[in-house]
Amino acid sequence: MLRWKIEPIKLPLKFNWKIARNEAEQKTNFLITVEDHEFIGRGEVAYNIRYGESDTSTLEAFERFVSSSPDAIHSISALMDAFSELDLPNSLRFGIESAFIEYLGAITEEPIHKILGVNRVQTVATSFSVPIMPIGELQAFISDHKLCRFHSLKVKLGSEDSIERITELRKYFEGSLRLDANEAYSDPDQVLKLIEFLNSKGPIDFIEQPLKANLYSESQYLKENSSIAIFADESLTDGDITEHFCDAFDGVNIKLMKAGSYFKALKQIRNAKEQGLKTLLGCMVETSLGISSALHCAYGVDFFDLDGFLLIKEDPFALTSEENGKVFYSHLQ
């Protein structure tokens, strides 16, 4: 008989994590475990308030899952059947699924990438995220965290001071930039003015979700007139990637915590390629448990933003490591 458990993980951060819609100095994630008398599997839940997820909704939904008698589940198909009867937050659904798949791997002695039916990738080059902060602190932040070892930085933007922020940052970092506005803008012409400025400020890989997710026609207009690639983030959660995305974006940010499943995320990557969209594999603020899960989906992806475990003061699992801007499984050291 399987035993399921959920417990909070308190994660103090290395610095104040400020983006366009909120800020925090500590994150609370959840650890899901499933075990029998001999084997155990673990999964991480990194919920996001942007999608109405919270401590309370996570715990309440987990209780609904436990009440559905999951102790009798012994196959992936049975787990999918159980999910179909429940309305679970995507991040919790992924935490449960990933714990169960790790448990199956322990029983069968099969690596997870084989269970998922994908090619294994052992290392990827990640960007490092720079939160919104006073412009005068950027030089010290880049120096203190030795960010020039990364090939690219993801710069969090608000609707104000973006030009000044990037101008200052360019004094200390020459690599490529990936700009992430987290829906900070409502006016596409304001974004186009920023883009016109950016064209003279070194390499820019893309701008991620500059407009609010519900501004579809504005996003179409922005894509048609932008000289820099526009990527979707908040506009994509667990749905299929259709031509709808091609009309408004050049690429998509796929996250396991948004997709709610390895299998959904892998389908999204495949769909995006079929539609001619670029792919970014991203993360929330997560421990190396969640980041190691994301690495299982890395094959064929164009860009990576898997720095979540680098933002926390002390990682409780040490499953992934980073060196010179590359993330890899710790056991490969």
SS3 category, 180: strand
The 278-281 sheet, strands edge to edge: 128-130, 152-156, 176-180, 204-208, 230-232, 251-254, 278-281, 303-304
What is the full DSSP assignment across 88-103?
--HHHHHHHHHHHHHH
Tokens of 41: 């599997």
∠ CA 298-267-84, rounded to 5°: 120
Listed in sequence order, the residues at least 6 apart from 220 whose beta carbon sits closer than 8 Å to its beta carbon are 247, 248
255 in catalytic set:
yes
Cα distance between residue 18 and residue 84, in whole Å: 36
Q: 27, 156, 258, 264: which one is catalytic?
A: 156
Nearest Cα to Cα of residue 130 among 79, 173, 80: 173
For the chain, the C-alpha Rg in angstroms (whole number) is 20
Let me know: does 191 contact 210? Beta carbons within 8 Å: yes
H or E stretch at 322: strand 320-323
Instruction: Please report, to the nearest 10 degrees, the dihedral formed by the alpha carbons of residues 327, 208, 236, 189 taken in order.
Output: 180
The span from the CA of 293 to the CA of 265, in Å, is 11
Contact 126/305 with Cβ under 8 angstroms?
yes
Contact 205, 229 (CB under 8 A): yes
Catalytic residue among 114, 171, 201, 255: 255
Q: For residue 326, what are the CA distances in angstroms to 128, 238, 254, 320, 322? A: 10, 27, 19, 10, 5
Determine whether 267 is an active site residue.
no
Q: Which of 134, 121, 199, 125 is nearest to 160 (CA)?
A: 134
* Phi, psi values for residue 283, rounded to 5°: -155, 170
Would you name the residues annotated as active-site residues? 156, 255
